[in-house]
Amino acid sequence: MNFAGKTVVVIGGTSGINRGIAEAFASAGAKLAVASRSQDKVDDTVAALKTAGATEAVGLTFDVRDPDAVADGLAQINAALGEFDVLVSGAAGNFPALTAEMSVNAFKTVIDIDLMGTVHVMKGAYPFLKRPGASIINISAPQSWLPYEGQAHVCAAKAGVDQITRTLALEWGVEGIRVNSVVPGFIEGTEGAKRLAPSPDAEKKFKADVPLGRWGQPEDVANACLFLGSDMASYISGTVLSVDGALYQRGSGQAGRMIGQMLRSMSGGKS
Ligand code: HXC
Ligand code: NAP
């Protein structure tokens, strides 16, 4: 893959899966921009992207819950790096919590980050997308398709993200903009996987549900994003692509039950 001369923007690109995606595009010679809330994480990532091979790399801080800050940040990236060839929207927050036991604000926090954050990123980036040719990749999760106990907030948010993908593929497809989602399965060594499988026992049981017999690596997701961002995918839009070792084919599985069991045992079986 050669992304020389292309501008790639990764929102939430400063740790875990999204940072892996940013580094993959950097290795392919792109100009990179990343954004998240933490200046330290942004600085560290920008340095790593330059080392990885980015022709230029910039970073800035904003919270995706703030639409004005997102729009302003994306305008700054456009001024620095030009029109966006690839936009990856991956900022997200998650914690395991039963619906009856979490506050309204807790539920709303995940909706605000994952779902509304995606809306803010899409709308903020819209004026700066290369047309024709831009590729948008929203980072979703298995919870979009599969109900997991203790994850109603994430299930609702990520299902919404994927419906935005499908709908904007219609609305923006006429301008030559492609919009797709990638659904990572459980990815090794990441914050998201640690929060849902905090014990070796949970990790072992969740892994046993993956037909390919392992959790994914960040590179597995990054490779799918390189493909979707490239001309090889020039007729692919409106797709929600699982990169999950066929986890989806097993249904909600152990994760669907065990997160709820874990939470109920902690709360004394209240709900
Ligand atoms: C119940 C909780 C909670 C928990 C927070 N809250 N953690 N409720 N159980 N474990 C509640 C708080 O009490 C508060 O409600 C509300 O949520 C907001 O919490 P804050 O701490 O004020 O929020 P904030 O500082 O904005 O942080 C957002 C966050 C945090 C989501 C809570 O964890 C975060 O920044 N996460 C980013 C990193 C992350 O989550 N990465 C994993 C992504 S993985 P009240 O009512 O008290 O005000 C993913 C999918 C993985 O997205 C899929 C794997 C298969
Ligand atoms: P992570 O390391 O916690 O990455 C989240 C990124 O988003 C960080 O760069 C974080 O940086 C940023 N971020 C979080 N809240 C933000 C906010 N309000 N505004 C701006 N930036 C924010 O998580 P991960 O586990 O790698 O997950 C990355 C993506 O993959 C998420 O979309 C997640 O839903 C999805 N996913 C993960 C898994 C998995 O196994 N891990 C599985 C399926 C899907 P700051 O903290 O600096 O803001």
CA atoms within 13 A on the CB side of 95: 12
Q: How many domains does the chain have?
A: 1
Q: Whose CA is nearest to atom 9 of ligand 1?
A: 97
Give the CA dihedral 17, 27, 224, 211, nearest 10 degrees: -60
Query: Which residue ranges in the chain fall short of pLDDT 50?
Result: none
Buried b (16+ CB within 10 A) or exposed e, 150-180: bbbbbbbbbbbbbebbeebbeebeeeebbbb
Ligand 1 atom closest to the CA of 93, numbered from 1: 40
2 domain residue, yes or no: no
Q: What is the CATH number of the domain that holds 211?
A: 3.40.50.720
Q: What is the pLDDT of residue 271?
A: 54
18 alpha carbon – ligand 2 mean position (Å): 7
124 domain residue, yes or no: yes
Only one residue has tokens 């690109």, namely: 13
Distance of CA 262 to the CA centre of its chain: 26
230 domain residue, yes or no: yes
Among 9, 10, 15, 206, say which to mutate for ligand 2: greatest number of ligand atoms within 8 Å of CB.
15
Contacts of 78 (CB under 8 A, 6+ apart): 84, 127, 128
What residue type is assigned to position 266 of the chain?
M
148 domain residue, yes or no: yes
Longest distance between any two alpha carbons in the chain, whole Å:
57
Put simply, whether the predicted model's pTM sits higher than 0.95 gets the answer yes
271 domain residue, yes or no: no
The parent domain of residue 248 ranges over 7-266
1 domain residue, yes or no: no
Cα–Cα distance for residue pair 47/57, rounded to 1 Å: 8
Q: Whose CA is nearest to atom 34 of ligand 2?
A: 92
Q: What is the pLDDT of residue 270?
A: 58
Q: What is the pLDDT of residue 267?
A: 83
